[in-house]
Structure 1
């Protein structure tokens, strides 16, 4: 499912680093940037998440909410956030989805419908398609 400009993004419920959210309720009347990464602790993703944390005030001025996604669990995101702060000078200051059941990744066609199993046993290469905006 490729989203077209002007299309309504699919709604979902998910666990995040800031608690459980319902995507459309969380967005409210704002714009949102939902971005995803194939695996926590990958070098390029680490720099990107740090950069977005530094840019968040600019997104806030424009009424845009940021939310990240990885198939790794939320508690691992918290450990990754410490690493991002240490290496990039800023930690994620926006919610990160722990998509351990692959529901959101599948909803947005980032992973095949047949994907299953323990997300911690999946490699970045197996999750490479979980890289989207």
Structure 2
């Protein structure tokens, strides 16, 4: 990736981190719960493609995974770090976020969220690794 592409990745990473701070620090628990129920209802009844055993809580996990996919990808590209470094950075970041939510914010911190976020970052970092290998 050239200098311009890396510069864009750095800008996107900064914007992503700013947006992430807004998402994780605001007391939006009720709205997030409503979103997961809406997704469950949509994919269970309106457009029935999800397995029957999937409940709304599974969509919450999926949203946590998806939230950190860009983090892993952008860390890998912007900082030119290997996939395992980006995944470890996401683990530490997610753990700090969940700790802050538990101790100081009006949100519930959860170790399962840390696991889901870390998995998302791993997916993003490995996708960048695969994409980079395919381009070489």
Task: Give the TM-score of the pair, scaled to structure 2.
Answer: 0.33
Q: What's the TM-score, normalizing by structure 1? A: 0.34
The structure richer in helix per residue is 2
